[in-house]
A and B are shown apart, each in its own frame.
Chain A
Amino acid sequence: MPNGGSGYFLYTVWNDKMCRSVSFMWKTSQQKDISLADYYNDDDLPRFAEIGRERPDLRDKFFAYYGATLEAGELTKREKALIGLAVAHAIPCAYCIDSFAQTCLEAGVSTAQMVEAIHVAAGIRGGATLIHGLQTLNAVDKVSM
């Protein structure tokens, strides 16, 4: 086990099978002087295209699709920017949050509108947790006298 809380964090969030590769990664990381602080590095966002390093064809297909989904259609770009922001919080993905906060600004969305969209995401996430409470109750009822 590598020293420090960061290594422990990696160990606990990855399952046992991945543990060996975690240790390996850790060593590589130390060699390259990379730490957990480098995760969610905002300099990575403009480097997104590098994901095509091994398979540029797949990257290009994905980017074409991704770009097309955000073009104005029946929904305006502005509406899509707000949907993107809400989903970013629901997932939740730091890169997407950064990116869609910017997209919202560039679509002329007000801060209050962004906050309302985030509350919609939070509401649905919370609702999803709660509605699953009925599954618990069903499971309890099923085996209870």
Chain B
Amino acid sequence: MATILPTFAQSLAGANLFPLLATGVSTLQVNVGKRCNQACHHCHVDAGPNRTEEMNRDTAELVVDVLRRHPELTTLDITGGAPELNPHFRYMASEARGMGRHVIDRCNLTILFETGQETLARFLADNRVEVVASLPFYLADRTDKQRGLGVFSKSVEGLLLLNSLGYGVDGTDLTLNLVYNPNGAFLPPDQTEMEAEYRRELMARHGIVFTNLFTLTNLPIARFQHFLERSGNLDKYMAKLSGAFNGAAASNVMCRSLVSVGYDGTLYDCDFNQMLELPVSTGTTSHIRNFDAHLLARREIVTGAHCYGCTAGAGSSCGGAVA
């Protein structure tokens, strides 16, 4: 039975949020490339070992320069692919830390054991970089189905290594946040309940501690969209997302306070729009070399049906639920 869903713009209008405007820019989220040592089924970046797109030194220097000129950018959030594979990852992270900025590494955990990454965990700890690590479930079966056979046990090793350096341990300033995402066409659980479950199970089964759990919704783009199409779940999933539209979550979507930078320096409203090749709406200033903080801070966000993934239920962002 085909049902016509309201457009995202209509849902925003119903919550008095159309057009969706930025409220400022406090986070620069930089996607340094699509290369990754994994090739997960749900990856919205279509990342993998054979991807070659990668931020070069000139663009990395432009990022550092923008941070230097804009102290209001309090957070540098580095993602990928596996961001640590970019040769300029450590340069950007340590420069930003040198300026006193908060730095986040979106880490897949298995990268810690790749050749050439032997000193990575120590580098992150020495620079007080927040680690946000993917762990789609606290059991091996669901994690491995999504991320590849053996990924769960390697992830456990990675978490234990980070714990041994003080990450996620009470009384240290080393933040280790974990990321849950659903293993299919369904919404994430309540973040607080799931965090308690992760805490209990990871401690009992592996002796692992962590700071917080973020529950994320899978957005219907890239590999996950292909899965939805192949499995005949696309229409139902879209109906579920739009039916769960929450105005409170919509008013807190992450794009209102961040700007996302592509590996070639193009500016986007978020990493998802980046993968959909929808740059920011500010025209000539849509490249890091023309970064105009004033314009970006009050820009109109480019939205589409995929945005329903950020506004369903308790909402979803790179920092978990938002409502």
Contacts and interface: CB of A to CB of B under 8 A. Distances in A.
Given A46-B239, A77-B190, A102-B186, A108 B197 contact: yes
A108 B181 CA distance: 10
B319 interface: no
Interface in B169-205: 180, 182-184, 186-190, 193-194, 197
Contact of B139 (A46, A77, A78, A110): A110
A81 B7 CA distance: 31
Nearest to A41: B1
A46 B1 CA distance: 10
Contact of B189 (A108, A111, A112): A108
A76 interface: yes
Contact of A105 (B184, B190, B239): B184
Main secondary structure of the interface of B (DSSP, over half): loop
Interface in B136-191: 137, 139, 141-142, 180, 182-184, 186-190
Contacts of A54: none
B100 to A, nearest CB: 37
Given A107-B190, A110-B137, A43 B1 contact: yes
Residue with the greatest number of chain B CB neighbours at <10 A, chosen from A46, A76, A108, A111: A108
B193 A108 contact: yes
A106 interface: yes
A29 B184 CA distance: 36
Chain A binding surface, main DSSP class: helix
B193 A78 contact: yes
Interface size class of B (residues with CB under 8 A): 10 to 19
Interface string A23-60: 00000000000000000000100100000000000000
Contact of A77 (B183, B187, B193, B239): B193
Nearest to A78: B193
Contacts of B139: 110, 112
A108 B314 CA distance: 15
Interface string A63-86: 000000000100011100000000
B137 A107 contact: no
Nearest to B182: A105
Contacts of B197: 78, 108
A71 to B, nearest CB: 11
Contacts of B187: 106
Contacts of B186: 102, 105-106
A106 B141 contact: no
Given A46-B239, A77-B193, A111 B188 contact: no
A110 B142 contact: yes
A13 B85 CA distance: 65
Interface of B: 1, 137, 139, 141-142, 180, 182-184, 186-190, 193-194, 197, 239
17 contacts: A72-B193, A76-B193, A77-B189, A78-B189, A78-B193, A78-B197, A102-B186, A105-B183, A106-B182, A107-B189, A107-B193, A108-B188, A108-B190, A110-B137, A110-B139, A111-B142, A112-B139
Given A106-B182, A106-B187, A110-B137, 18 more contacts: A43-B1, A72-B190, A76-B193, A77-B189, A77-B193, A78-B189, A78-B193, A102-B186, A105-B186, A107-B189, A107-B190, A108-B189, A108-B190, A108-B193, A108-B194, A110-B142, A111-B141, A111-B142
